[in-house]
Amino acid sequence: MTIPSTPSPNFDARRGPPDMIVLHYTGMQTGAEALARLCDPAAKVSAHYVIEEDGGLVQLVAEERRAWHAGVSFWKGERDINAVSIGVELVNPGHEFGYRDFPDPQIEALIGLLDAVRGRWEIPNGRILGHSDVAPDRKTDPGEKFPWKRLAEAGHGLWLEPPAAPGAPLSVGDEGAGVFALQAGLTRLGYDSAPSGKYDDHTASIIAAFQRHWRPGRIDGIADGETRARLVHILRAAAEG
């Protein structure tokens, strides 16, 4: 496969091989506009790849280099997510400009790209993440329309649909052992959620990010029984690699 390249000047050196993939949407009105920004030295942002809605794939930065896509972020103790990840931007106007479904050719191109990238680098399924997972207070991309289930069926990332579980919801203002256990579980998965036992706005942002990825039918930052059941199952799957 020959991939056209539009080199971006916005990169620097990695300190080791990448072991994570971070998926984004471009969040701009057109793909051309997004490409121009990702190659603009003044913007100081980039990604390794951009995938157009028709499946067109463009490489901006070599995988061996550190692209600038994640910003202030965190996963499993790592704050320099750019240093450890490969960033992929999917053209989509995003929540601000008319969020829409990711077309099939775009997702097929992404699956082909992930097959190739994961043939070159050791990247576990539990480290294929959305920008919102690593920056839940700031970011909502690639968002709840992104087909994580389809991606997992193609062998990339984690997806599970456990049976519905009863249980009282936890939400902002709640305190106690249940909240502590929830935060501990989110931390174990990778989120920046040091357990305090207090369900604050940051906890709600993380639950909303978890829901965008693993429970897209309900994104309200409230940890109901089903959200908690899904967390338990995803944790188990992540532990198995």
Q: From the candidates 33, 52, 78, 89, which is the catalytic residue?
A: 89
Closer of 102 and 199 to Zn ion (Cβ) = 102
Closer of 144 and 174 to Zn ion (Cβ) = 144
Is there a catalytic annotation at residue 89?
yes
Q: Give the residue among 114, 124, 89, 102 at the shortest CA–CA distance from 19.
A: 124
Three-state SS for 7? Answer: coil
According to CB under 5 A, which residues from 155 to 174 bind Zn ion? Answer: none
Smallest distance from the beta carbon of 131 to Zn ion, in angstroms?
Answer: 3
Q: Does 212 bind Zn ion (CB under 5 A)?
A: no
| Cis-peptide, bond into residue 142, ω within 30° of zero | yes
Closer of 11 and 199 to Zn ion (Cβ) = 11
Smallest distance from the beta carbon of 24 to Zn ion, in angstroms?
Answer: 3
* Cβ atoms of 61 and 8 closer than 8 Å: yes
Rounded to whole angstroms, how far apart are CA atoms 230 and 71?
28
Smallest distance from the beta carbon of 14 to Zn ion, in angstroms?
Answer: 19
Alpha-carbon Rg for the chain in angstroms: 18
Which positions from 119 to 138 touch Zn ion by CB under 5 A, shown as an x/- string?
------------x-------
Tokens 């309900």: give the residue. 218
Bridge partners (DSSP) of residue 90 are 25, 51
Closer of 141 and 144 to Zn ion (Cβ) = 141
Rounded to whole angstroms, how far apart are CA atoms 170 and 176?
10
Binders of Zn ion: how many residues, by CB under 5 A? 3
Q: Give the residue among 161, 67, 153 at the shortest CA–CA distance from 108.
A: 153
Three-state SS for 103? Answer: coil
Smallest distance from the beta carbon of 58 to Zn ion, in angstroms?
Answer: 17
According to CB under 5 A, which residues from 12 to 51 bind Zn ion? Answer: 24
Q: Does 141 bind Zn ion (CB under 5 A)?
A: yes
Smallest distance from the beta carbon of 132 to Zn ion, in angstroms?
Answer: 8
Catalytic site positions: 89
> Which residues contribute to the site for Zn ion (CB under 5 A)?
24, 131, 141
